[in-house]
Amino acid sequence: MAEKFARWLRQNLTDAERILWSRLRDLKQIGLHFRRQVPFDRYVADFCCHSAKLIVELDGDQHGSDASLSYDAHRTAYLNSRGYRVLRFANLEVMCELNRVIDAIVLASRDPHPDRFALRPPRKGEVK
C-alpha cells in the first residue's frame, strides 16, 4: 500500500517539494544520493539519503494540528528507530530560504547520527 501511495506522491509533488528535489539531485556531485517519496513500512518519507541515514521532511500548513503533530512524532520516532535522522523544514523555509535549508542538509549528512555511534553505557561503578 505504501508503495502505491509513494508512487502517487512522486507524481504529485508540492511546489516546495519540487524546488527542493531539484536542488537535492545536485548533491550527487558531493556523494549524496537522495530519493523522493521513499516507503518505510506504512510511512512514506519525503526525501531520503540511505548512505547518510538522513530523511528530509517538508511540513505544510496541515502539520500544525495536534493530530498531525502527534502523527509526525510517532513517525519520526519510528524512522529514528530504523537508524535514520529526520530533518523537518516548513514549506515556507524552502520557498524563502532554500540555500540555508540545503546547507543544513549537507551539514547533517556529514555529522554522524548520534545513535549510529552510541557509546556503551557505563558499567556498574564506572562514571562517565
One DSSP character per residue, 12-57 reads T--HHHHHHHHHHHHGGGGT---EEEEEETTEEEEEEETTTTEEEE
In CATH, 2-110 is 3.40.960.10: yes
The answer to whether 79 and 40 are in contact (CB under 8 A) is yes
Each domain of the chain, given as residue ranges in start order, spans 2-110
* Residuewise pLDDT in 10s, the chain (128 residues): 667 655 555 566 788 999 999 999 999 999 999 999 999 888 989 999 999 999 999 988 664 556 678 888 998 999 999 999 999 999 999 999 999 999 999 999 997 655 554 444 455 555 54
